[in-house]
Amino acid sequence: MMTSAEAALRIEGLKGEIERHNRLYYQEARQEISDQAFDVLLRELIELEEAHPDLVTADSPTQKVGGAPIEGFTQVRHAVPMMSLDNTYSEAELEAFFQRVQKGLGREVVECVVEPKVDGVAISIRYEGGVLKHAVTRGDGQVGDDVTMNVRTIKSLPLRLPAGVPQTFEVRGEVFMPKAGFAKMNEERDEAGEARFANPRNATAGTLKQLDSRIAAKRPLDVVFYGLADAGDAEVGAHSEVLELLGKAGLRKADLVWRAETAEALVLAIRELDEKRKALPYETDGAVIKVNAFGDQRELGATSKAPRWAIAYKYQPEQAETQVLAVDIQVGRTGALTPVARLEPVFLSGSTVGNATLHNFEEIERKDIRVGDWVVIEKAGEIIPAVVMVKKERRTGEERVIVPPVCCPVCGTEAKKDEELVVLRCPNPDCPEVVKRRLEHYVSRGAMDIRGLGEQVVGQLVDAGLVRDAADLYQLDELSLARLERQGAKSIENLVKALRESREQAPWRLVFGLGILHVGVTAARTLLEFFGSIDQLAAAEVEDLLKCEDVGVVVAASVHAWFREERNVALLERLRAAGLTFEQRKVAAASEVFAGTTWVITGTLSRPREEMAEAIRSHGGKVSGSVSAKTTYLLAGEEAGSKLEKARKLGVEVLDESGFWGKVGEGEKGIKTDLFG
């Protein structure tokens, strides 16, 4: 048994790790670990909190659903919270769930409904007067993002309900991309020289986050519904009746549905679904089991997070055995040398897998992976092929130990060990592969956002000797671009236009796009807000950089070193000559009411966090990401966590939205700001 102090330490570690994965999954549509591995972390946290109830806090992942709303959209509070489901990977636990239901209702026979668990993005859609009113994402379960304009583009979704069904109700479902549509979209992106999407769920999440609904309209979104949040005047008393109503309303429902009245029947249903789900037009990762009758559901009730009358059964990640044929080295934009296993092709989770990342050479040594080994692989979260284990009993003695490279495989430069990050690097900035990766980062949407310069086009430009660095991009013209393959007149015209427009991008985007080690988007914005221009930033000494809030020793040293390399100084001068923006745009402050103050924002607010931050800046204040003794105010919304606790300990004044607008002045609420310029 852990002591209370040991448990407190472990709980804090688990909370941080779980929240990080939640943020990646819900806000960034990325996934580093499988669902099963995530559930193991969450289960451990639940068990520790049950054993030490005095350590349960309001900000624990066990006390909430999902992640924070995406910044940039209007937020809508759900009339009925969008709860998550408890889940299991075990048939025995599924049977135990059914026994709890029997005990709770006091009878043996309980009808349940079994449906596929669609691997998409949860959505709540409301109709009023027969017309689609709004579509809202799950968000944190209480407040979601209004993505109505993007959802309206779904071709299968009726914007008006047919006669003969209730005209006001709210439905819950999953937005997804069909397998066939996703494959076709990736083919089109290949032809356009754009990066492929990793999987349908990521592509769906990214599409719903688009601020321009015209982009969403070009993508193959679809939606399937599974329930009602508000039945309106519909007379429905069971989930099976809801499915009938959805069909009458022209709303797509599950393609496969089972009814079961015993634990044995439930197990047979999930096994049959597992056999049939690969033929479904969308990705699935499990089954959802619900007690059918609404009266039974009300009697069983719910915990603070999940209903007691439903559970999700997750299928074990599909695994396959294959052989490691070779190990190649990929070269990244920072020169990082990443080992990749080339495998005997094997069919796994709906696609043929021919390679898997090995992360780094310490990981290879830890798992003792060798060329020639038979290994078990799975797709982590059904996304990234990963080596789970080595079948050492199948070794013949012919296997070869994987030796870290002495030189870069592309340019032959001696590799250097980065002790801090446990990675080997090619230190040659002119390595063709480093140049390609660096340029791909520079033109990416989060950096300079130069549309049309995808991986294939960048590769052609470098291979043809037309481009060696970012400044060379601005020397391109119609004649030089015409030398590239599969570039028609319209594509060339659009690319030249995109390059011209990128000259007006905010200077923080340029700093981020330059790929300075350890400098991400947030650091780039913070640095430019503090120094005001790239020239001032370039001239700063380490001690000056450390005065910038949220910039530590590692970032300061990296920035200082980058701006003192001759080749980087020359690159900046060429970018200046090309007409790029080096000065932070001066926006006239609406007032100086917050002059000299530093704010931190936390919790769920009625407006996107970035909009509140811009309101603070527009009145002369500064915004920081962390609470410290320098913090003047903490603007706290609902479900404020550790930042609120720290602010109270430091004596920082805490304001809710009402208090914030009270300081601004009621007449300033309508301020319009350029949020993303």
Q: Which residues are catalytic?
A: 117
DSSP per residue, 197-233: PS-HHHHHHHHHT-S-HHHHHTS--EEEEEEEEE-TT
Q: Hey, what are 621's tokens?
A: 């204040």
Rounded Cα–Cα distance for residues 461 and 184 (Å): 26
Q: Match 């994987």 to its residue by tokens.
A: 402
What 486-495 contacts at long range (C-beta under 8 Å, 24+ apart), as own/partner pairs, is 486/191, 486/193, 487/457, 491/192, 491/452, 494/451, 494/452, 495/450, 495/451, 495/452, 495/453, 495/457
Residue 541, CA distances (Å) to 511, 531, 538, 573 in order: 17, 12, 8, 20
Find the farthest-apart pair of alpha carbons in the chain and give their distance in angstroms, rounded: 80
Residue 675's contacts (CB-CB under 8 Å, 6 or more residues apart) are 72, 610, 611, 614
Of the candidates 326, 381, 379, 372, which has an alpha carbon nearest to the alpha carbon of residue 351? 379
Contact present, 360 and 404 (Cβ < 8 Å): no
Amino acid at 509: R
Rounded Cα–Cα distance for residues 559 and 425 (Å): 19
First to last CA, the chain: 54
Contact present, 623 and 600 (Cβ < 8 Å): yes
Query: What's the angle, vertex CA 547, arms to CA 545 and CA 553, rounded to 5?
Result: 55
Q: Hey, what are 475's tokens?
A: 């020397």
Helical (H) or strand (E) element with 345: strand 337-348
Amino acid at 295: G
Phi, psi (rounded to 5 degrees) for 99 = -65, -35
Rounded Cα–Cα distance for residues 95 and 90 (Å): 9
Phi, psi (rounded to 5 degrees) for 448 = -85, -10
Q: Hey, what are 516's tokens?
A: 């300075």
Q: Pinpoint the alpha helices (H) of 342-454.
A: 361-367, 432-443
Contact present, 496 and 477 (Cβ < 8 Å): yes
Residue 64, CA distances (Å) to 33, 60, 520, 527 in order: 20, 7, 29, 34
Rounded Cα–Cα distance for residues 545 and 541 (Å): 6
Strand partners, 385: 379
Contact present, 437 and 338 (Cβ < 8 Å): no
Residue 90's contacts (CB-CB under 8 Å, 6 or more residues apart) are none
